[in-house]
Structure 1
Amino acid sequence: MKIPMFSRHLVAIMLMLFCAQIYAQNYVPFTPRFNEDLKGDIVLIGNNILGPDNNPFNNPTIYNHNVDMQYIDIDGDASTFSSSSADLDIPNPGCYRIIHASLYWGAVSPGNESITDVKFRGPVGNYYDITGTVIFDANGNSIDGGDSFSYASYADVTDIVTSLGTDLGTYTVANVSSAEGETGLYDPYNGTGHSAGWSLFIVYEDPTLPGKSITSFDGFSAISVPGGNPSLDIPVDGFRTVPAPAPVRANFAFATLEGDSPIFGDRLLLNGISLSTADRPETNFFNSSVTQLDATPVNDRVPNSSNTLGFDTGVMAIPNPGNTVIANDATSATVSLETSGDTYFQYFFAFAVDIIEPYIVLTKIVEDDAGNDIGGQTVGLGTPLNYIIGFQNIGNDNATNLQIRDILPINIIYNHPTDLVLPPGVTVSSYNPTTRELIFDVDDSLVEENDPVYEIRIEVETVETCAQLADSCSNLILNQAFATYNGFYNPNFQITDDPSVNSNTGCLLTPQATNFLADLDDCTFLEEVVLCGASVDLTAANGYVAYSWSTSLTGNPEIGNTQTITVTDAGTYYVFNTAEAPCQSIVQEFVVELFGAGIENPVIPYADEVVTCPDNGKLLPNIFLCGANDSRLIETNISGATSIIWEKLNESSCPAVTNTDCANEDDSCSWDQVGTGPNFDADTAGQFRLTINFEGGCFVQFYFNVYTNLLNADVTATDIICQTPGTITVIDVPSGYEFSLDNSNWQTSTVFTVTTPGNYTVYIRQIGVPTNPCVFTVPDVQINERDFSVSTTLTQPLCYGEKGSINIAANDVDP
């Protein structure tokens, strides 16, 4: 609101002031739009969109009501009627991520165009059409008792900004609606003038910065003396500043209309203390300028006016000498807008204050057995991998209740808990073998401020066969860990499922450990399906973007393009599964056979011997496990069954067979279920049955036996000394075994005489088992040849009558 010239009629002045007292008020309460704690900061850019022309306007003594305000339009685009630009810069361009972007625009009075529809263009690409949300619209009603019919609008443009690829550079906003003209010439006189502009509010993450509590507010208030609304208090809470004696730092962003450069009396206060910067005096804070954090001129705008003629926007560092404005351990603040002269219309501000918080840097890398980082590299089937989860608190508060959650990839083999190496203070809270989720509890003593890095090691191995890799992206081994924790001094601070990164460099990186399995082109994805009834469904692997079925490996003719097809004839069917890069496309082969036609016992490929029962001619596979830790993984590769059940015979429930080459198929026998699904890990002795059920009620049963030998042999050894040979003696072995040092010449004696020094391996096997006997080994038995020697030390007597001495040492002998 301007002070009218004394040459104007007194009646007009009184009428204007009277109307201002009637209409001025806080129209829309300021409420949070964005509210989040993070490591990062805020940036605000913007520009005015009215002026006498497209050139910079730099006279600080001019009021906007004395300027013929016209649309600025600098983009050279005939489809826009107004436009201006400003550049976005972030201090640490190599280490940031934009997480929020809001566009605000408004005018003292609108034009005939839409107040919600604008155009928005980033550093690359063309304009985006934006339809915003109205914060406030006077809708023809004066907000100051004069000729101000203001509006303010907002749009969330985060998705646009983050999708640009290049998000630093020049932003242009067009088609902001505003009235035009020189209001000082109006009759009746209008001392407010026209003003309009736009602001882009950015919140970004940067892990090298302190944690901040960031809150943005929008609303609408006409701050004026004649309007009876000379002040407005807005509370801000939900944070906790750093403890003493650390300095408390905060930044403040804003967007305001109608603050004139020549008119004083407008103030911004925080906790009752007036704020100012080099370019914004304490008593003329809203002075038609654009501000940046260092309070230097913002020159990267077009037009680059020092007097924006009633438009204020920017971001400033709040002066806080001795923490007198914002105290240590503060949890709230009050932002105040006041005036004793100039009228202005506030519609946006944001507050970012340093807070006390823990910050757990969670890293996840993958190493080979030699300790080399092999993240992003190609590995083969059956390759050992070591996942290293590192964690360290680099924040300014102690962390509490830290839990680390890790979901292991489906294409690795993990044995719980033997594959874990945990530091003291870390325990396993739970492990779900179905979801492959590991949860670790971390003692609070490991995550205090300034604690070192601690590591959890998970030793795994990639899968061994192609049959486990049919699903989409099985060629990618992706693994990531997540952290959940609280603060100690700031207990209300909580981070939930913060992801791990692949380096502890403090910058934003890809949050996972990745490897690529070697090319799967050599893998054959073959499944056998039984047709039991009129038809059977064939289902391809999950997760691919397209499927194409054919009866020919050439792909023609195509007989289906869905994940599942129904077939009625026996034969071979192919499905071509197309994946998005970097995942790999594959071809699956389904061999459909009529029930009873050529179905073979699927355990046979894993048997050490296969015998034939003379009673019925059926084949019986036998598996021999050697040693206490031996096992055999049986993979049937059967997918067309409705269920696959593995059972073990309760041998006390029925008479034993008279011929061990025959399975026990007596109906009176009782069988205990020991597994389901296409795969079974045989690790115990017994007689087993496999039942495969198909759609239509058909089923087939197969039998196999597992034998175990739990021998745990050891040896003792003596070295060769002088002419006495060395010996190797086998111990802890019962009778019925024979022994060898070369796996060729065998003896029944447990003692070997050794005349040649060297490193030996002892071989042990059962006597009288000609077919597939267990051969046990005791490796690395070292026999040395002792080179006996004597050393003497002679000490002569010093005087007559005294005694001397001789010390003799025997070297390289048994003690």
Structure 2
Amino acid sequence: MLRFKPLFFLCLFVGIHFGYAQEGLNFSVNNQLYLKGNSALIGNNIVSEDDVEPFDDRSTFNDKIKMQFIDVDNDKSTFSSSQAVLTLPKNSKKIAYAALYWSAVYKYDKGVKRTLNNQIIYKGNDERTLDVNNILFKTPKGEYTPIKGLNVYDSYLNSTFNDSKPYVCYADITEILQNTDTLDGNYTVANIKATEGYISGGCSGGWLMYVIYENPDEKPKYFTTYNGFIEVNKKPVDITFADFKTDEQGDIKTALSIGTLEGDSKLKTDMCTVFDYNKNKYVPLSTPLRPENNFFNSTITIDNKYFKDRTPNSMNTLGFDLVKMTLPNKNNNILSNNSSELTIKLKTKADRFFLFFVAFETEISPIYLENKNDDYYMTVDIDTYALPQNEDVLKIEKLKTISIPNLEPGYYLVTNVFSVESNAENWKQFLREKGHTPRSYKNPKNNWDYIYLEMSEDPNVVYLKQRELSRLDYFEDIWVLKINM
């Protein structure tokens, strides 16, 4: 049986479910945006075998290599630096959001390895600075700007991950990019701290810049980013994205961006899977450069290509993985029309890795985008019933009024909106079968059908009905519109 879900959600939430308890820091939502636009992901690693030359050998394990800082900026005041190029499409120069992340293995400043009784022993002084959130950032035609980021997670401060002591930091650099005259070009990130030499599992580290930009030629989209630091080992990590509504018809395009640490190019069994609702099971994601059983393999890729527009442009980024890919949504089998949820599962059997960044984006219903302005409508969250009723009623009275010709003035309790008339009829039939008496009106501004169950000039009447209906599981959200008042 078809199940219809209401269209609008005011309480922002991304569901993140972990199959088992994980060490590290659980993920939290960092940002959510609804706009016409797209995103770009760039980045680079910060430690390698050589300080300037690319590293392309994919046949060796990370911990076999003596690591040193990459430093390509010809600036003696920096001890580490790498670069990547941002290229945005024409008509896409308005930056809505820009995030900078950096993460590295950092147990001590320098490590050595010794062989004792046929066993390899890794040693260091087990001391290092806690000042990992201060770095330098340079735009294409600018000078270095000191960045003091948020220390999202540093395992050196607790008893977890004692063999590697990784960390991750974040900075919102939206204002920097918005005030930059030249957006396209080379971005440099310097003085990221990491362990040099040898460490168990191998030294690794790098940075990423995730940019969301507006473009009036794009379809409406939902973007969400969040961060944390979770070990993916033998226990899977499930992530469920919500807070969106796909369009009622047509193909749905969606994309995923991920940043991880410590993935080994030679070790296999690590996977990123997505739930296929048609098949009722998880199916593995893959590209020609990311096999389904070795998805996190120390590469930086955009869809089916290596991202080479960076310095150095190593094929093997030695434990630092960045991926941005369009999900294979043929026939909308993964993300369907009228959908509001997507789940991915990350897992491995042999090659543990750390997840520190995920961004999800999808095309959404234009109705959902247009009606995000909460000055025109109001929902009631049943978890907030402890609030005094008169406060909610006062909010309803203060709503901005909407003009709809030939419609009686009043407060309307709307349950759903449709751009396809047959879907509106199906929803009304569903409501009738549940014992309701649905009515509808068409908004001449957009020609969409609005289905409502209550109308009154008294906001108290509509408010009480909304509270009553919000308890039903098929009304996730219903809202009030003030019309012709």
TM-score range, shorter chain: 0.5 to 0.7
The answer to whether structure 1 residue 120 and structure 2 residue 137 are counterparts is: yes
Q: State the partner residue of 1:235.
A: 240
Q: State the partner residue of 1:179.
A: 195
Q: 1:236 to 1:169 in 2, by over 3 A?
A: same
The answer to whether structure 1 residue 156 and structure 2 residue 172 are counterparts is: yes
Alpha-carbon distance in structure 2 between the residues aligned to 1:178 and 1:89: 28
Q: 1:163 to 1:96 in 2, by over 3 A?
A: closer
**Percent identity between the aligned chains?**
36
Q: State the partner residue of 1:137.
A: 154
Partner of 2:245, secondary structure, is: coil
Give a deviation string over 1:647-670, Cα, whole Å, max 9, x none: xxxxxxxxxxxxxxxxxxxxxxxx
The answer to whether structure 1 residue 312 and structure 2 residue 321 are counterparts is: yes
Q: State the partner residue of 1:378.
A: none
Check whether the contact 1:425–1:446 (CA below 8 A) recurs between aligned residues. Answer: no
Q: How does 1:460-609 map to 2 (within 5 A)?
A: none
More helix by share: 2
Alpha-carbon distance in structure 2 between the residues aligned to 1:235 and 1:304: 33
Q: State the partner residue of 2:302.
A: 292
Equivalent of residue 249 in structure 1, options 242, 248, 253: 253
Alpha-carbon distance in structure 2 between the residues aligned to 1:265 and 1:289: 16
Alpha-carbon distance in structure 2 between the residues aligned to 1:492 and 1:335: 28
Alpha-carbon distance in structure 1 between the residues aligned to 2:39 and 2:181: 20
Alpha-carbon distance in structure 2 between the residues aligned to 1:30 and 1:49: 24
Q: State the partner residue of 2:445.
A: 446
Q: How does 1:398-413 map to 2 (within 5 A)?
A: none
Superposition deviation, residue 73 in structure 1: 0.4
Equivalent of residue 79 in structure 2, options 54, 61, 81: 81
Superposition deviation, residue 278 in structure 1: 2.2
Calculate the aligned-residue CA RMSD, in Å. Answer: 3.1
Alpha-carbon distance in structure 1 between the residues aligned to 2:106 and 2:372: 52
Alpha-carbon distance in structure 2 between the residues aligned to 1:342 and 1:334: 22
Mind listing any 5+ residue stretches in structure 2 that lack a counterpart?
1-20, 110-127, 276-281, 377-402, 410-440, 449-475, 481-485
The answer to whether structure 1 residue 220 and structure 2 residue 229 are counterparts is: yes
Counterpart AA for 1:448: N
Superposition deviation, residue 399 in structure 1: 11
Superposition deviation, residue 26 in structure 1: 3.3
Alpha-carbon distance in structure 1 between the residues aligned to 2:178 and 2:155: 33
Number of equivalenced pairs: 351
Alpha-carbon distance in structure 2 between the residues aligned to 1:219 and 1:446: 43
Check whether the contact 1:290–1:314 (CA below 8 A) recurs between aligned residues. Answer: yes
Superposition deviation, residue 402 in structure 1: 11
Q: State the partner residue of 2:56.
A: 58
Alpha-carbon distance in structure 1 between the residues aligned to 2:33 and 2:299: 28
Equivalent of residue 93 in structure 1, options 90, 111, 119: 90
Give a deviation string over 1:730-756, Cα, whole Å, max 9, x none: xxxxxxxxxxxxxxxxxxxxxxxxxxx
- Point out 4+ residue stretches in structure 1 off by more than 6 angstroms: 397-403, 490-494
Superposition deviation, residue 493 in structure 1: 11
Superposition deviation, residue 72 in structure 1: 0.3
Check whether the contact 1:399–1:447 (CA below 8 A) recurs between aligned residues. Answer: no
Give a deviation string over 1:255-285, Cα, whole Å, max 9, x none: 1000111111111122232211222111111
Alpha-carbon distance in structure 1 between the residues aligned to 2:353 and 2:181: 37
Partner of 2:331, secondary structure, is: helix
The answer to whether structure 1 residue 348 and structure 2 residue 357 are counterparts is: yes
Partner of 1:204, secondary structure, is: strand
Check whether the contact 1:26–1:222 (CA below 8 A) recurs between aligned residues. Answer: yes
Partner of 2:176, secondary structure, is: helix
Check whether the contact 2:42–2:85 (CA below 8 A) recurs between aligned residues. Answer: yes
Q: State the partner residue of 1:335.
A: 344
Superposition deviation, residue 327 in structure 1: 2.1
Q: State the partner residue of 1:461.
A: none
Alpha-carbon distance in structure 1 between the residues aligned to 2:312 and 2:290: 20
Q: 1:243 to 1:304 in 2, by over 3 A?
A: same
Check whether the contact 2:404–2:443 (CA below 8 A) recurs between aligned residues. Answer: no
Superposition deviation, residue 492 in structure 1: 7.7
Superposition deviation, residue 94 in structure 1: 2.6
Counterpart AA for 1:30: F
Alpha-carbon distance in structure 2 between the residues aligned to 1:74 and 1:344: 27
Q: State the partner residue of 1:672.
A: none
Q: 1:159 to 1:399 in 2, by over 3 A?
A: closer
Counterpart AA for 2:134: D
Check whether the contact 1:31–1:219 (CA below 8 A) recurs between aligned residues. Answer: yes
Superposition deviation, residue 41 in structure 1: 1.6
TM-score, scaled to structure 2: 0.67
Mind listing any 5+ residue stretches in structure 1 that lack a counterpart?
1-23, 184-189, 360-394, 404-422, 430-441, 450-489, 495-815
Q: 1:80 to 1:398 in 2, by over 3 A?
A: closer
Q: State the partner residue of 1:170.
A: 186
Superposition deviation, residue 142 in structure 1: 5.7
Check whether the contact 1:102–1:154 (CA below 8 A) recurs between aligned residues. Answer: yes
Partner of 1:139, secondary structure, is: helix
Q: State the partner residue of 2:388.
A: none
Check whether the contact 2:232–2:354 (CA below 8 A) recurs between aligned residues. Answer: yes
Equivalent of residue 358 in structure 1, options 353, 357, 367: 367
Counterpart AA for 1:83: S
Give a deviation string over 1:103-155, Cα, whole Å, max 9, x none: 100112254452110000011110110011111111165644x5111100111
Q: 1:28 to 1:400 in 2, by over 3 A?
A: closer
Superposition deviation, residue 78 in structure 1: 0.9
Check whether the contact 2:259–2:358 (CA below 8 A) recurs between aligned residues. Answer: yes
TM-score, scaled to structure 1: 0.41
Q: State the partner residue of 2:118.
A: none
More strand by share: 1
Q: State the partner residue of 1:45.
A: 42
Alpha-carbon distance in structure 2 between the residues aligned to 1:401 and 1:165: 33
Q: 1:283 to 1:99 in 2, by over 3 A?
A: same
Partner of 1:161, secondary structure, is: helix
Q: 1:401 to 1:31 in 2, by over 3 A?
A: closer
Counterpart AA for 2:260: T
Superposition deviation, residue 346 in structure 1: 0.5
The answer to whether structure 1 residue 260 and structure 2 residue 276 are counterparts is: no
Check whether the contact 1:143–1:222 (CA below 8 A) recurs between aligned residues. Answer: no
Alpha-carbon distance in structure 1 between the residues aligned to 2:211 and 2:197: 33
Superposition deviation, residue 296 in structure 1: 1.3
Partner of 1:350, secondary structure, is: strand
Counterpart AA for 2:37: G
Alpha-carbon distance in structure 2 between the residues aligned to 1:37 and 1:135: 25
Alpha-carbon distance in structure 1 between the residues aligned to 2:373 and 2:196: 59
Superposition deviation, residue 333 in structure 1: 1.7
Partner of 1:322, secondary structure, is: helix
Q: State the partner residue of 1:420.
A: none
